Amino acid sequence: MKTKIKNVIKKIPGVFYIRDKIKFLDFNSDKVFFLKNYMYSNVITKEKIEYEMILEIHKLEKGFAVVNPRPFGIDKVKKIINCIRKYENNNFKSGFAYNLAYSSLEEYKKFYEEKEWTETEQYKLVSDFMNNAKEYIYIPVGAYDLNKSDFIEDSKIDFDKFLSSRKSIRNFADKKLEAEDITKAVNTAIKSPSACNRQMCKVYYIDNVDNKKVVEKYAQGLGLFDLTNANYFVITFDVAANYFVGERNQGWFNAGLFSMNFVNALHSLGIGSCFIQFGNSFKEEEEFKKLLNIPSSERVAVIITAGYYDEVSRIPYSTRKDISEIYRVR
């Protein structure tokens, strides 16, 4: 009966066109979502102020790294002070970005004193503000020198061999993931670069049985998996970190970098994994986030299945293209 109805519907002129039009409405949902949640959208949230702080701190930090610096950063320190005030007026609980914001002003003041730029407007502004600073924890900020020999020493591994030994894994050993290994892998992934150091990605380890079922229901690419010992991670990014329309795809890119490092870190710990694309509709993504209690301003970038390597893993060849097909010189 169902097939009969489907066949009748298929014959209606324009039905596919309308179906595709409806599906493509998700692009509009992306736009509406971005405008509702990005850094300068109407509602003030703790996260938005924190991302703004980190953004401005990062711009300021680059001033510390200039070889022959001149007085710099007046706009940035004004914005940082403004963010701290907003944060305190809203009584948000102090966290990393807040401590970093105060630390950056402390470092800025010190730097200006060392350079004897104490007559400048920005020095006086920061100095006055810091006289009434609330309690904060100092976090290293500014710039430092790293020797070439350190780079060379610390990067001495056979990187190609390591990367070539990672494969997408679709069956896993019967062993629960150790919390210590997960922490290690996340700590490695945290070292991934991110736009203006905003660190907009989050990792959700799906440990609860019901939540695992949610992942299995929504993930579309689990078809060929042996899910018996599968563990799941969901990688998201927060649109609150993005500050203008040019950053509309920033989160996806940052999540890609983050996820790749996470997966490689898992691999270094004897944990195999496979990305599972989140090819769901916008509506499904909203449902998924609700069920897993993921904050509303985050987007789901990808799901990762993982588990310790089993004695044998069956691997599709996934042969790569020849370099001549992908490398161009212009």
Ligand X SMILES: Cc1cc2nc3c(=O)[nH]c(=O)nc-3n(C[C@H](O)[C@H](O)[C@H](O)COP(=O)(O)O)c2cc1C
- Give the span between the Cα atoms of 225 and 239, in whole angstroms: 31
Q: Least distance (Å) from ligand X to the CB of residue 251?
A: 14
> With binding defined as CB under 6 A, does residue 230 bind ligand X?
no
- Give the span between the Cα atoms of 169 and 6, in whole angstroms: 37
Q: Least distance (Å) from ligand X to the CB of residue 312?
A: 15
> With binding defined as CB under 6 A, does residue 302 bind ligand X?
yes
> With binding defined as CB under 6 A, does residue 197 bind ligand X?
no
Report, in this order, helix, strand and coil percent for the chain, each rounded to 5.
50, 10, 40
The residue among 118 and 281 lying less far from ligand X, judged by its C-beta, is 281
Q: Least distance (Å) from ligand X to the CB of residue 265?
A: 15
35-to-12, 45, 246 alpha-carbon distances in Å: 37, 14, 12
The residue among 66 and 224 lying less far from ligand X, judged by its C-beta, is 224
- Give the span between the Cα atoms of 192 and 207, in whole angstroms: 24
> 318 with 168: CB under 8 angstroms?
yes
Segment interacting with ligand X, rule: CB under 6 A, options 11-19, 100-108, 179-187, 272-280:
272-280
Using DSSP, state whether 70 is helix, strand or coil.
coil
Among 318, 319, 325, 330, binds ligand X (CB under 6 A): 318
> 233 with 205: CB under 8 angstroms?
yes
- Give the span between the Cα atoms of 168 and 170, in whole angstroms: 7
> With binding defined as CB under 6 A, does residue 275 bind ligand X?
yes
Q: Least distance (Å) from ligand X to the CB of residue 181?
A: 20
Segment interacting with ligand X, rule: CB under 6 A, options 27-35, 202-210, 226-234, 274-282:
274-282
The residue among 11 and 321 lying less far from ligand X, judged by its C-beta, is 321
Segment interacting with ligand X, rule: CB under 6 A, options 111-119, 125-133, 185-193, 275-283:
275-283
- Give the span between the Cα atoms of 191 and 54, in whole angstroms: 16
> 201 with 236: CB under 8 angstroms?
yes
Q: Give the other-Cβ count within 10 Å of 271's Cβ.
A: 24
Q: Least distance (Å) from ligand X to the CB of residue 173?
A: 18
Among 63, 71, 142, 221, binds ligand X (CB under 6 A): 221
Positive or negative torsion for Cα 55, 61, 66, 69: positive
157 to 196: interface string for ligand X, x by CB under 6 A: ----------xx----------------------------
> 175 with 229: CB under 8 angstroms?
yes
Compute how many residues bind ligand X; rule: CB under 6 A: 10
Q: Least distance (Å) from ligand X to the CB of residue 192?
A: 15
Using DSSP, state whether 183 is helix, strand or coil.
helix
> With binding defined as CB under 6 A, does residue 301 bind ligand X?
no
Can you give the binding site for ligand X, defined by CB under 6 A? Answer: 167-168, 221, 224, 274-277, 302, 318
